[in-house]
Amino acid sequence: MARFHVIIPAAGTGSRMGAEAPKQYLSLNGKSLIQHVIKVFDMATRIDSIHIVLSEGDAHWRSTYLHLSDKAQVYYCGGNTRAETVLNGLHAIATRVDEDDWILVHDAARPGLSNLLLNQLLNTLEHDEVGGLLALPLADTLKRADDAQRVSATIPRNNLWQAQTPQMFKYATLKKALSEFAGSPTDEAEAIEALGLKPKLVTGELRNLKVTYPQDLAVLSALLNQS
């Protein structure tokens, strides 16, 4: 039976946050973002292992986060891009997983994932031929801007979704997709699509947002305190 493993790419600097530390180490309700993320997967009985991929020079983890989960293993092999970091992680865990095991890639700065939503993703995709990802149907009208930041077009939002994580694919398929992709995909699903496959969209939640800008912390704190 295929097992479930998590890769958390955490080698980014989070430059858009304008903070001194990488954003995965920023505090939310008394814990760092990455602590919240690890806790969800640690408590999930169906998750077999958690693999955290850091940059080679990461000094924050060593001083604070050594024993967050018995399931977790840390690797200092992060790349220059998210895709490179995930691929390096896949190579690092090669002897620990089977080719047909499921890999869930989840953002280190996306701490609002609930156990309920995680189980929904696992239940929906565990027998799927391709795999898929959490995502939200777009509700707002989309505008395309020109170089002067004026509206050049309105884009119909029908059938448009905002991708979230986890994104869940078989180990061998994901490794092949990331290894063969020409350039750097924005997420794992894009690399899978380049193989001619169609990932399944599983409806996510607003609270599963990715912290990108300073105001996102306040929004997420409010959402989590309401749950």
CB 176 within 8 A of CB 99: no
Architecture of domain 4-226: Alpha-Beta Complex (3.90)
Q: Is residue 62 predicted with pLDDT exceeding 80?
A: no
- For residue 166, say if its preceding peptide bond is cis, omega within 30 degrees of 0: yes
pLDDT tens string 91-125 = 999 999 999 999 999 999 999 999 999 999 999 99
Compute the distance between CA of residue 118 and CA of residue 32 in angstroms, rounded to an integer.
20
Of residues 217 and 227, the one with the higher pLDDT is 217
Least confident span in 31-35, 74-78, 121-125, 216-220: 216-220
Q: Which two tokens stand for residue 125?
A: 């995709």
Please answer whether residues 7 and 187 qualify as being in contact, where contact means their C-beta atoms are separated by less than 8 angstroms.
no
pTM: 0.93
